[in-house]
Structure formats: structure tokens, C-alpha cells
């Protein structure tokens, strides 16, 4: 299924949503392809479960709405949810066009800051792969994982200026069996960050910088956080980062959480 009729700078929000619904309902393997070109894309939520393995191949550049007010408090621009055997591939880019949003970001000053959109959210994705795609200038985190299992990121490129606030490259939360390899991240916050119940995570051959480094945490900010364990950071290069590898904790709340089985090698 291809957007063959899509015109340069066209808005493909509805077309992508319709193509996803058709592909997700198809029996057997299916694929949605966004061809080369530049396209406008509004808020989209691409949900499963699907009836077979499904792939989205992005060869063009997808541009988010510039005005952060467009999202009206929604915390994700492109959301993939509850899919098994999913692949996101291609040489294309997800351009969050976050420059206007960064000027309005006051999260470093107040906990009650306005929610800004993450470029790509993966919620409850299993047995899946992301390869070769690019994420640019997200308004908030570039990629966020929640409740994912057995998920690999390979040769992904993430780029934002070093002074762009809260633009974590990949944030992992309550997920297990996550592998990130051969990936380049240059951003204004943590290149990779891991929240509570991040378990069995391998980060291998990642180049990070600028940014804040590769971080476990912050942990202990909220009550009832679940343990972090089995974190392996191997063969990574960090350049012009404010930190290297670290575990970040909050002192304010009593918590029974823990961080164990940490392995850092050849950094």
C-alpha cells in the first residue's frame, strides 16, 4: 500500500491512517510505504492488534505541525500501539519542527509545565524492529517506549541541537528485552534514558553527543516504582556530553525501588 498519489507538501494524515487500517486488517504480512518527498503529518495513532506482521516503510520526510498548540495537550505526534511483529523502516525522517516549542518549554523551572509532543511513541509493542529511520528536532522526547517487549532499534539516527530542552533521544519505561545498536544520537538531553521497570536492556555501539549521556533514571521521583535490572551498555562513544553513563535518583520521596545488575564496558 503506497501513497503514490501524494503530492509534495501534501497533508497525508488521513491517507496514512486509512492505509494503516487496511493493512492492519489484512490477513498475512502487509506493508505501508511513504515514498520519497516531503509531507505534512498531523497527530496520528496507529493501533493494533493487527491480523498479521505489519511494516511501515518511510522513505520521505514527515513534518509535524510547527505550533505546539496544535496538539492540545496530546503527548505524542506519531503513536504506535498494541502491535505484535511490527517493523518501522526506511531512510526517511520524522521532523518534529520543535524550535518554537523549545522557546516555550519551562519544564526545567516547574513540574506543572505544559505537555509537549514526543515525536514517536511506542506503547505495548512486542517482537518488533525499528531500523534506519531518523528523528529530527522533536518538541519533547524523540522516541518513548512504554510496556514494550523484545524490541530492537538498529541504525537509528536522532538529531537536535545541544541546547534543545527535554529532547531525550530514546526513553525506555516499563519495558524488557530492549536492544539498541549501531545508533547515533545528538540531542539536548539524555541520549538514552531508562525509567522504572526497565529490564534486560542492551545498548551497544551507540554514539552519543552532544547531550547529557546515557542515564538510568531519574528514579525515586514517584512512589511504587518498580525495579530496574539487567542493563548493559557496551562499546559506546560519548563526545561533548555533560555526563557519561550514570544513575540518577531523587531524594525527595521514600521508595522501595532498586537498580541492580548494571554492566558498563568499553565506554
d(CA 72, CA 161): 25
**84 is annotated as an active-site residue:** no
Which class for 111: exposed (0-12), middle (13-18), buried (19 or more C-beta within 10 A)? exposed
Nearest to 188 by CA among 233, 237, 240, 231: 240
Which class for 30: exposed (0-12), middle (13-18), buried (19 or more C-beta within 10 A)? buried
Q: Return phi, psi of residue 13, to 5°.
A: -55, -50
Of residues 212, 261, 263, 266, which has the active-site annotation?
212
Q: CA 72, 109, 191, 229 torsion: positive or negative?
A: negative
Residue 72: how many other CB atoms lie within 10 Å: 8
Of residues 95, 168, 189, 196, which has the active-site annotation?
189
End-to-end CA separation in angstroms for the chain: 43
**189 is annotated as an active-site residue:** yes
Nearest to 243 by CA among 189, 202, 199: 189
Specify which residues 260 forms β-bridges with: 229
d(CA 149, CA 177): 5
Strand-strand pairing, 76-84 and 30-34: unpaired
User: What amino acid positions are annotated as catalytic residues?
Assistant: 189, 212
Amino acid at each position: 500500500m503506497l501513497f503514490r498519489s501524494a503530492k509534495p507538501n501534501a497533508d497525508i494524515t488521513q491517507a496514512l491512517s486509512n492505509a494503516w487500517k487496511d493493512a492492519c486488517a489484512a490477513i498475512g504480512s502487509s506493508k505501508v510505504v511513504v515514498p520519497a518527498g516531503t509531507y505534512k503529518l498531523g497527530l496520528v495513532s496507529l493501533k493494533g492488534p493487527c491480523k498479521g506482521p505489519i511494516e511501515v516503510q518511510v522513505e520521505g520526510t514527515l513534518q509535524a505541525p510547527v505550533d505546539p498548540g496544535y496538539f492540545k495537550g496530546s503527548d505524542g505526534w506519531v503513536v504506535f500501539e498494541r502491535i505484535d511483529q511490527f517493523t518501522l523502516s526506511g531512510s526517511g525522517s520524522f521532523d518534529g519542527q520543535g524550535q518554537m516549542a523549545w522557546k516555550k518549554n519551562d519544564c526545567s523551572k516547574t513540574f506543572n509545565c505544559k505537555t509537549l509532543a514526543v515525536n514517536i511513541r511506542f506503547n505495548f509493542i512486542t517482537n518488533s524492529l525499528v531500523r534506519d529511520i531518523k528523528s529530527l528536532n522533536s518538541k519533547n522526547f524523540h522516541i518513548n517506549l512504554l510496556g514494550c517487549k523484545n524490541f530492537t532499534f538498529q541504525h537509528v539516527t536522532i538529531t537536535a541541537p545541544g541546547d534543545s530542552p527535554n529532547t531525550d533521544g530514546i526513553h525506555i519505561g516499563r519495558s524488557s528485552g530492549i536492544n539498541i545498536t549501531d545508533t547515533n544520537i545528538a540531542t539536548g538531553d539524555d541520549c538514552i534514558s531508562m525509567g522504572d521497570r526497565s529490564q534486560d536492556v542492551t545498548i551497544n555501539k551507540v554514539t552519543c553527543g552532544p547531550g547529557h549521556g546515557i542515564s538510568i533514571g531519574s528514579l525515586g521521583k514517584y512512589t511504587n516504582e518498580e525495579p530496574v535490572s539487567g542493563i548493559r551498555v557496551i562499546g559506546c562513544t560519548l563526545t561533548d556530553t555533560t555526563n557519561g553513563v550514570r544513575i540518577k535518583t531523587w531524594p525527595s520521596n521514600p521508595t522501595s525501588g532498586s537498580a541492580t545488575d548494571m554492566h558498563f564496558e568499553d565506554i
